Amino acid sequence: MDTPKILITGANGQLGRVLTQSLRAEYGNDAVLASDLNFPDSAENENTIFLDILNTERVKETIKDHKINQIYHMAAILSASGEYNPHKTWNVNFNAVLDLLEIMRECNVGKLFYPSTIAVFGNTTPQSMTPQDVPLLPETVYGISKTTGELWCNYYHNRYGVDVRSLRYPGIISYQSIPSGGTTDYAVEIFHEAIKHNKYTCFLGPDTTLPMMFIDDAIRATIDLMKAPKEKIKTRTSYNLSAMSFTPAQLADEIVNHIPQFEIDYEPDFRQEIANSWSESIDDSRAREEWGWNHQYDITKMTKRMITELKKIYI
């Protein structure tokens, strides 16, 4: 097997940052080239570059110059931000991946990771224990672009043998950064506000159930999927992936166990409608059967870890 030489796009995002650290810890600093449009700490690491994923020629040159054989394409505009500029979102989320698939084919790059999302599901999808193969009728441009991307990944695999692997991430909960632009972001913001101010105003209603996952599980799933033997990856659109599901009210109750004075109130905005169109829980049995996926964090373990980590930052 080739020694990994990895390019990460969107390396300054919520998942990209932690993925960069984890892949560097595993394969060494020199094996991982981190790229983004914006890097506050770029001076600290020479393996960090500015890269606009819409500049196809530059992306191709970078892949050739650095002899890249694995790409983690994490750059994207999320569900809520996407609604402010649908055409730009389509361009960034879809056209960039189509170009990348073509570069993979042309330059014979080893493997591509393509992040998909629960936003591919829509109002016609069964919301409870959503199966792997369901009609997809997403309501957001983010969901439309990710759904189309899944289909093209499957096409490039079947037609040209491009080794592309993908996960439908639930909402990701992490302490390393404050995400922005997503509908599931409340589940991160709530911890910061609970620790800083003992209260939080949630932009989703109390009973909105959404699938969620702690960052450690999400990163492990990503790296395990990329390491799995090719023949085990039978799904080339994207795998359903699941760990826990909860409502804002249930998360608030968990936080109260650590911060008794914590209070929550609710002011649902346009993101409520987006959340209502998504699944409440996900059947990810195919990922568990085919390449051994297993989550480690439930709501209680995740809450304890989030509060412990954020207290180190704030207190």
Measured from each CB, the residue nearest to ligand SER is 182
* 125 lines the binding site for ligand SER (CB under 6 A): no
Interface residue with ligand SER, options 113, 169, 186, 200 (CB under 6 A): 169
Minimal distance, residue 56 CB to ligand SER, in Å: 25
Rg, the chain, Cα only: 19
Count of residues engaged in binding ligand SER, rule: CB under 6 A? 11
Interface residue with ligand SER, options 10, 16, 171, 211 (CB under 6 A): 171
x-or-dash string of contact with ligand SER, 135-154, rule CB under 6 A: -------x------------
CB 31 within 8 A of CB 4: yes
Minimal distance, residue 79 CB to ligand SER, in Å: 3
Which residue spans within 118-204 are E strands per DSSP?
A: 163-169, 171-173, 199-202
By C-beta, is 36 or 104 nearer to ligand SER?
Answer: 36
Interface residue with ligand SER, options 13, 182, 211, 248 (CB under 6 A): 182
Minimal distance, residue 272 CB to ligand SER, in Å: 12
Residue among 267, 266, 262 nearest 197 (CA):
262
* 235 lines the binding site for ligand SER (CB under 6 A): no
CB 167 within 8 A of CB 221: yes
Kindly state the greatest CA–CA separation across the chain: 58
Which residue spans within the chain are E strands per DSSP?
A: 6-9, 32-36, 48-50, 70-73, 111-117, 163-169, 171-173, 199-202, 210-214, 239-240, 244-246, 263-266
Residue with tokens 């402010």: 84
- The conformation of residue 130, written as its DSSP 8-state character, comes to B
By C-beta, is 48 or 130 nearer to ligand SER?
Answer: 130
Whether 160 is catalytic:
no
CB 254 within 8 A of CB 300: yes
CA distances from 101 to 10, 68, 151, 232, 234 (A): 17, 14, 12, 21, 18
Amino acid at 206: P
x-or-dash string of contact with ligand SER, 39-78, rule CB under 6 A: ---------------------------------------x
Minimal distance, residue 207 CB to ligand SER, in Å: 18
- Of 72, 84, 114, 142, catalytic: 142
Minimal distance, residue 210 CB to ligand SER, in Å: 8
Distance CA 259, CA 199 (A): 10
* 118 lines the binding site for ligand SER (CB under 6 A): yes
Distance CA 51, CA 229 (A): 30
Interface residue with ligand SER, options 47, 69, 79, 125 (CB under 6 A): 79
By C-beta, is 4 or 181 nearer to ligand SER?
Answer: 181
Structure tokens at 219: 């990163």
* 119 lines the binding site for ligand SER (CB under 6 A): yes
- Which stretches of the chain bind ligand SER, using CB under 6 A? 78-79, 117-119, 142, 169, 171, 182-184
Q: Which residues are identified as catalytic?
A: 142
